[in-house]
Amino acid sequence: MKRILYALLMMTALGVVVPSLTFASYGEPGHHHSKPAPSIDWSALPADIQTLKSQLDQIGSEQKSLFLQMKTQNDQIKQARRTLTSEQRKLLKKPAKQLIMQMRAAKDEIRDMRDRKHEAWDSFHEHVDSKEWASAKSDLTTIIQQKRLIVSKQQNVVKLQQQLITLIQPQQQLHVH
C-alpha cells in the first residue's frame, strides 16, 4: 500500500511539475515582470544597438518555437501518464523522478538567468534614456548572452521531456497489448 501511494504521489507530482516547468521555462512573451518596460523607438538608436536588437528578435523566435515544442511534449506526457496502470507507474517511479529533478534544476537556473536579464533590461533603459550608448550596448549584449543561456536550458528541458516520453511510451504500449 505504501508503494502504491508513493507511486501515485510521484505521478501526481509529474502531472504538476511538467506543466509548470513548461510555462516557467519559457521566456518573454508569456512572462511579464512587475512593471511594464517603457517602449523604445529602436530606429532612433545607434545602428550597432539596432543590430543587437535583431539578434534579440531571432532569439525570441527560437524561444517561441521551443515553447511550442515544450507545450506539445507536455501534452503528450499528460496523455501518456493517464494511460499507465499503477504497476507501470511503480516501474517508472525512479527514472521519472530523476528526470523531474533535472527539469526542476533547469527551471531554477532559468529563473536565475531571467532575473539577471531583467536587471540588465532595467539598466539598458536607464542608459538609453541618458543616451549613454556604450553602456546601453553593453547591457544589450548581456541581455543577449542571458537569453542564449536561457535558450540552452530550454533546449535541455525539451530533451528531458523527450526522455520522459520515451520512458513512458514502452510502458504505455505494454498496457495496450
Q: Which residue has the higher pLDDT, 161 or 91?
A: 161
DSSP class per residue in 86-141: HHHHHHHHHHHHHHHHHHHHHHHHHHHHHHHHHHHHHHHHHHHHTT-HHHHHHHHH
Model confidence pLDDT, tens digit, residues 51-106: 999 999 999 999 999 999 999 999 998 888 888 888 888 888 888 999 999 999 99
Of the ranges 15-19, 26-30, 34-38, 168-172, which one carries the lowest mean pLDDT score?
26-30
Model confidence pLDDT, tens digit, residues 28-54: 444 444 455 668 899 999 999 999 999
Identify whether the C-beta of residue 81 lies closer than 8 Å to the C-beta of residue 11.
Answer: yes
Identify whether the C-beta of residue 96 lies closer than 8 Å to the C-beta of residue 164.
Answer: yes
Label residue 173 exposed, middle or buried (CB < 10 Å: 0-12, 13-18, 19+). Answer: exposed
Q: Which residue has the higher pLDDT, 170 or 51?
A: 51
Residue (of 126, 118, 173, 175) closest to 150 by Cα position: 118
Q: Which three cell numbers stand for residue 87?
A: 504497476
d(CA 164, CA 113): 25
